[in-house]
């Protein structure tokens, strides 16, 4: 049978999602825990690979197995063998036609940015940081330039393996939670798919605009150039969270990953 899991993790201690020879990735830890619980090897696929230091609030994976367990047992049993910064949230048996990556209709990320004169300490690794005040209206104007279907080559890492740089960004929302010197900025992104480092490269450009180092219209120039040479440097992975994919209701998955079922859960954010 095919089983889907929802997984949350802090990425700071890991070399990204995808399995590596070092064994220090989220996939390596999850597959080891699943194998220990099922007493047989388990190979997983994920909805969206995350880089080293990037966190997952609702990663979705699937795997095929001949081992029969209740959904509650897949959750509690697997978590018994996982490190404390990775935890399965739910499990569900799905049709063989379901594919966590190919069946996803969209993907969502959130970047949490601390604006403060002093760098983060207890929140280190969980938030990005800028010591300079940011202009929210300027960043929102710049972000709207990127909404729509575009060639995002200027925001693509050289190691990106995507077949095409053309993606459809459906939404970028920017908000802040206070009006004083120390505040949090939240940047939410939704697209059909993302390129390698795409959000971190966009963040570098938005922060440059927010700091007044470039006009919002400059982002259009970056987009049109289709070259990383004109864009801002790649921003830190520390504040980036994969909010998860969204699927059609026909799969019967939990509300947090079902299209139109409401906003994603933000509990656990700094």
Question: Looking at the domain assignment, is residue 75 inside a domain?
Answer: yes
Residue 100: predicted pLDDT: 98
Tell me the pLDDT tens digit for each residue of 196-249.
999 999 999 999 999 999 999 999 999 999 999 999 999 999 999 999 999 999
Residue at token pair 């047989």: 40
Residue 181 pLDDT level (bands cut at 50, 70, 90): low
- The verdict on 111 and 195 lying in the same domain is yes
Of the chain, the percentage scoring pLDDT greater than 90 comes to: 91
- The verdict on 97 and 110 lying in the same domain is no
- The verdict on 33 and 155 lying in the same domain is no
Given 63, 83, 103, the domain boundary residue is 103
Question: Looking at the domain assignment, is residue 250 inside a domain?
Answer: no
Task: Map residue 79 onto helix, strand or coil.
Answer: helix
Question: Looking at the domain assignment, is residue 268 inside a domain?
Answer: no
Residue 269 pLDDT level (bands cut at 50, 70, 90): confident
User: What is the count of structural domains for the chain?
Assistant: 2
Residue 268 pLDDT level (bands cut at 50, 70, 90): low
Given 81, 103, 125, the domain boundary residue is 103
Question: Looking at the domain assignment, is residue 251 inside a domain?
Answer: no
Residue 260 pLDDT level (bands cut at 50, 70, 90): confident
Residue 139: predicted pLDDT: 98
Q: Is 206 exposed, middle or buried (0-12, 13-18, 19+ CB in 10 A)?
A: buried
Residue 161: predicted pLDDT: 86
- The verdict on 233 and 133 lying in the same domain is yes
Residue 263: predicted pLDDT: 66
- The verdict on 152 and 39 lying in the same domain is no
The yes-or-no verdict on residue 264 having pLDDT over 90 is no
| 8 A C-beta contact, residue 14 and residue 32 | no
The yes-or-no verdict on residue 186 having pLDDT over 90 is yes
Q: Which residues are catalytic?
A: 51
Contacts for 53 with CB less than 8 Å, ≥ 6 apart: 11, 12, 125, 236, 237, 238, 240
Residue at token pair 């209701």: 249
- The verdict on 96 and 139 lying in the same domain is no
Taking residue 98's Cβ as centre, other Cβ atoms within 10 Å add up to 20
Side-chain-side CA neighbours of 215 within 13 Å: the count stands at: 4
pTM: 0.95
The closest alpha carbon to 128, from 53, 39, 193, belongs to 53
* pLDDT mean across residues, the chain: 94
- The verdict on 140 and 22 lying in the same domain is no
Residue 67 pLDDT level (bands cut at 50, 70, 90): very high
Question: Looking at the domain assignment, is residue 97 inside a domain?
Answer: yes
Of the chain, the percentage scoring pLDDT greater than 70 comes to: 96
- The verdict on 112 and 97 lying in the same domain is no
Q: What is the CATH number of the domain that holds 164?
A: 3.30.70.660
- The verdict on 78 and 129 lying in the same domain is no
**Rounded Cα gap, residues 39 and 16, in angstroms:** 25
Question: Looking at the domain assignment, is residue 26 inside a domain?
Answer: yes
- The verdict on 41 and 95 lying in the same domain is yes
The yes-or-no verdict on residue 265 having pLDDT over 80 is no
Question: Looking at the domain assignment, is residue 203 inside a domain?
Answer: yes
* Mean pLDDT, residues 22-29: 96
Task: Map residue 20 onto helix, strand or coil.
Answer: coil
Given 75, 103, 131, the domain boundary residue is 103
- The verdict on 96 and 190 lying in the same domain is no
- The verdict on 134 and 224 lying in the same domain is yes
Which domain, by its residues, includes 118? 106-241
**Rounded Cα gap, residues 249 and 208, in angstroms:** 39
Q: What is the CATH number of the domain that holds 26?
A: 3.30.70.580
* Mean pLDDT, residues 50-70: 95
Question: Looking at the domain assignment, is residue 270 inside a domain?
Answer: no
């Amino acid at each position: 049978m095919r089983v889907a899991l929802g997984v949350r993790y802090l990425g700071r201690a890991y070399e990204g999602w995808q399995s590596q020879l070092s064994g220090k990735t989220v996939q390596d830890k999850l597959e080891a825990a699943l194998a220990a619980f099922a007493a047989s090897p388990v190979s997983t696929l994920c909805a969206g690979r995350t880089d080293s230091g990037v966190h997952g609030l609702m990663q979705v994976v699937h795997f095929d197995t001949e081992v029969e367990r209740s959904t509650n047992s897949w959750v509690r049993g697997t978590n018994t063998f996982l490190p404390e910064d990775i935890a399965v949230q739910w499990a569900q048996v799905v049709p063989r036609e379901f594919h966590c990556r190919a069946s996803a209709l969209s993907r969502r990320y959130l970047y949490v940015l601390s604006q403060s004169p002093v760098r983060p300490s207890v929140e280190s690794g969980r938030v990005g940081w800028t010591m300079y005040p940011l202009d929210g209206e300027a960043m929102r104007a710049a972000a709207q330039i990127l909404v729509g279907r575009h060639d995002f080559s200027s925001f693509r890492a050289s190691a990106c393996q995507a077949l095409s740089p053309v993606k459809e960004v459906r939404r970028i929302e920017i908000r802040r939670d206070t009006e004083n010197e120390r505040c949090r900025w939240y940047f939410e992104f939704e697209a059909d798919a993302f390129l390698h480092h795409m959000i971190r490269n966009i963040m570098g450009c938005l922060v440059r605009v927010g700091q007044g180092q470039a006009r919002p219209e400059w982002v259009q120039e970056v987009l049109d150039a289709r070259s990383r040479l004109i864009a801002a440097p790649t921003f830190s992975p520390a504040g980036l969270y994969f909010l998860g994919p969204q699927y059609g209701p026909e799969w019967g998955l939990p509300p947090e990953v079902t299209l139109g079922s409401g906003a994603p859960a933000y509990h656990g954010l700094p």
